[in-house]
Amino acid sequence: MLIKTKKSWELSENEVTSEALFNRRRDFMKLSGAALALGYMPATAWAVLEQFTQQIADAPNTRTLDEKLNSFEDITSYNNFYELGTAKGDPIRNADALQTDPWSIEVGGECDNPGTYAIEDLIDFNALEERIYRMRCVEAWSMVIPWVGVSLSTMLNKMAPNSNAKYVAFETIYDRDRPLPGQRSRALDWPYREGLRIDEAMHPLTMMAVGIYGKPLPNQSGAPLRLVVPWKYGFKGIKSITKINFTETQPQTSWNMSAPREYGFYSNVNPEVNHPRWSQANERRIGEFFRRDTLMFNGYAEEVASMYDGMDLSTNY
């Protein structure tokens, strides 16, 4: 039922060239001029996900949720993506500053297949799924989002992590010489860093997303690929990933580096462990006025709680 609804407006959308795409083509014209002058041509014409528009649109739904979905507009205009600015409206406003083409992912550390990969080498675009997950921000608001992507495990397996790989570390795009608008301020220690324990990374719920609502991820949502870990606070879902590193020791993560008392490595959604500055017992679902109770592990306890058996969640926050 849901897929049909999606497809009906998908078609009408596809007939129109969006203003953003139109502008990107103009950028491409300029770029290709420069490229010709330098004697090379970029591998693909425009934003790296555009070539997979059809596969993203066709991804079958494999997980539903009996809660009202947030609109595409809500999901893509109210974002925390400090690389593009700290206000919620900054990322969409500055979205064009993020260049996603060309894009490559540098894989290293404790694995048998390190190297530099193109996105299609890591993600099987013919195996994309749509999954509807809750997204709970550490700031106590939440949304329900239909992601399109693959299980992170399918991607990591191609890199063949070895037995020393106890953790996976991720980094967001950062070019010191050409910082994104938000990276000019010291809001965080760039690049943005995130990490998961290997069992968390391999968990079937953990997803690498390339789309929302059957459309390629817009830049403000972390194009071209971003992590989705639905039982953790939203900031664990690192965006616009350029580096993946397998490590034996727990990697550093940006918010933990910035305020260790407030943001732990695990950052599992937990209504019983408050943020030092605010309560995590409840949340505002975007679209609602009053708050609703926050669920243990964001409602995914049945599937993930066993990974934390025997751990004190109030110290391992």
Interface with another protein (CB under 8 A): 73-74, 77-78, 82, 86, 88-89, 139, 141, 185-188, 255, 258-259, 274, 276-279, 284, 286, 289-291
Give the span between the Cα atoms of 216 and 52, in whole angstroms: 8
| Distance in Å, CB of 186 to another protein, minimum | 6
| Distance in Å, CB of 222 to another protein, minimum | 17
Decide if 201 contacts 307 (C-beta within 8 A): no
Give the span between the Cα atoms of 237 and 69, in whole angstroms: 19
| Distance in Å, CB of 265 to another protein, minimum | 17
- Which residue number, 2 or 257, has a Cβ lying nearer to another protein? 257
Give the span between the Cα atoms of 292 and 285, in whole angstroms: 7
- Which residue number, 79 or 298, has a Cβ lying nearer to another protein? 79
- Which residue number, 77 or 153, has a Cβ lying nearer to another protein? 77
- Which residue number, 36 or 257, has a Cβ lying nearer to another protein? 257
- Which residue number, 141 or 308, has a Cβ lying nearer to another protein? 141
| Distance in Å, CB of 185 to another protein, minimum | 7
| Distance in Å, CB of 253 to another protein, minimum | 13
Compute the radius of gyration of the chain from its Cα atoms.
Answer: 19
Give the span between the Cα atoms of 44 and 42, in whole angstroms: 6
- Which residue number, 32 or 258, has a Cβ lying nearer to another protein? 258
| Distance in Å, CB of 221 to another protein, minimum | 13
| Distance in Å, CB of 308 to another protein, minimum | 25
- Which residue number, 74 or 129, has a Cβ lying nearer to another protein? 74
